[in-house]
């Protein structure tokens, strides 16, 4: 089955200073293997894509990227530098790679301009790595960014990152932080802030993409609607309807039939897309799951490649 992968990471030289501290606790052999794959755009990456049946990958920076840079001007310049680097990578192999922009939200007006510049370069949207210096995407200061994303018709992929403060309830269980549990809670909460904060009332055509089969949100639709009614939340739609209308999800790092079936049942097969989360997950495992999981064959084609082709207008670029 042909596959398009959407959460496939790389690192550019100018953003190493942000990525390396996040890997401080990773054993050196694992760090080396990940870095080798993040910085390779030739035979190593393409060979693993071929083995998994991935014909096209949309590349994005390995987090946290410029979201953690305190100097707004430097963040904006670093984001543009990373986007120029990625444009060069894509330009050498446009048949295999596309790109998500790195965006510095420290200056929302400049963020909107960079999103538009990247759209002109053929980028397929942007990936935002969680909160930006404690600020979340529901805040009204980011309305110019959302207005531009809606105008351009470009999706925004919200990728997990650390919260402002680690939840005290994790106590001594450090392993509950980050990818095990904490990132999903943080990212799902971030998306809910956008819904309950009215982002999609203000920008009804905006599109958000969540990895990991929706960061548990497809499982919670009834509960979200029930509590919104209880607390008198004033929105144009029920929370579940925004998730169905304005959110798409990918399989990144969730190669299991049960959550995939839940996401398809809750959102529809047109809202679920393949991803591998390379190189932090095994692309071969992701590809095998997509090929072998029991599902309707039309839905398999939708998830594997047709939904991504439609949402990101990939057919227009060949």
Residues annotated catalytic, as ranges? 277
In the 8-state DSSP scheme, what is residue 106? Answer: T
Beta-carbon contacts of 126 under 8 Å, excluding residues fewer than 6 positions away, are 100, 101, 102, 103, 115, 118, 149, 154, 156, 157
Tokens of 254: 């969730």
Q: Which stretches of 211-265 are assigned E, i.e. beta strand?
A: 247-250
Secondary-structure breakdown of the chain: helix, strand, coil percentages, each rounded to the nearest 5: 55, 15, 30
**Contact present, 90 and 57 (Cβ < 8 Å):** no
**Contact present, 147 and 201 (Cβ < 8 Å):** no
Closest CA to 308 of 279, 278, 276, 284: 276
List residues bridging with 125 in a β-sheet: 155
Task: Kindly tell me the sign of the dihedral angle through the C-alpha atoms of 263, 230, 191, 246.
Answer: positive
Cα 274 to Cα 5: distance, rounded to the nearest angstrom: 6
In the 8-state DSSP scheme, what is residue 62? Answer: P
CB half-sphere exposure, 255, CA atoms < 13 A: 18
Using DSSP, state whether 158 is helix, strand or coil.
strand
């Amino acid at each position: 089955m042909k596959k398009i992968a959407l959460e496939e990471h790389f690192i550019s030289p100018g953003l190493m200073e942000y990525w390396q501290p996040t890997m401080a606790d990773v054993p050196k052999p694992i760090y080396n293997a990940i870095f080798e794959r993040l910085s390779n755009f030739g035979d190593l990456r393409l060979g693993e894509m071929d083995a998994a049946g991935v014909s096209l990958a949309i590349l994005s920076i390995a987090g946290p990227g410029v979201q953690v840079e305190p100097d707004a001007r430097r963040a904006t310049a670093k984001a543009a530098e990373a986007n120029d680097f990625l444009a060069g990578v894509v330009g050498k192999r446009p048949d295999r790679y596309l790109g998500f922009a790195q965006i510095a939200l420290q200056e929302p007006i400049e963020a909107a301009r960079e999103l538009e510049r990247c759209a002109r370069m053929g980028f397929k949207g942007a990936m935002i790595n969680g909160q930006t210096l404690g600020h979340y995407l529901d805040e009204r200061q980011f309305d110019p960014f959302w207005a531009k994303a809606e105008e351009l018709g470009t999706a925004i992929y919200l990728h997990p990152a650390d919260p402002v403060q680690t939840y005290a309830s994790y106590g001594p269980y450090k392993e509950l932080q980050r990818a095990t549990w904490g990132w999903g809670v943080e990212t799902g909460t971030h998306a809910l802030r956008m819904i309950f904060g009215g982002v999609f009332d203000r920008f009804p055509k905006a599109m958000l993409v969540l990895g990991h089969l929706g960061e548990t949100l497809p499982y919670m639709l009834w509960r979200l609607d029930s509590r919104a009614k209880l607390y008198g939340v004033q929105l144009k739609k029920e929370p579940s309807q925004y998730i169905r209308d304005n959110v798409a999800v990918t399989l990144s790092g969730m190669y299991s039939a049960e959550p995939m079936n839940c996401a398809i049942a809750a959102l529809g097969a047109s809202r679920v897309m393949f991803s591998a989360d390379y190189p932090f997950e095994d692309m071969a495992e992701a590809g095998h799951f997509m090929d072998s999981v029991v599902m309707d064959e039309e839905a398999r084609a939708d998830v594997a490649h047709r939904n991504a082709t439609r949402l990101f207008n990939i057919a227009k670029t060949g």
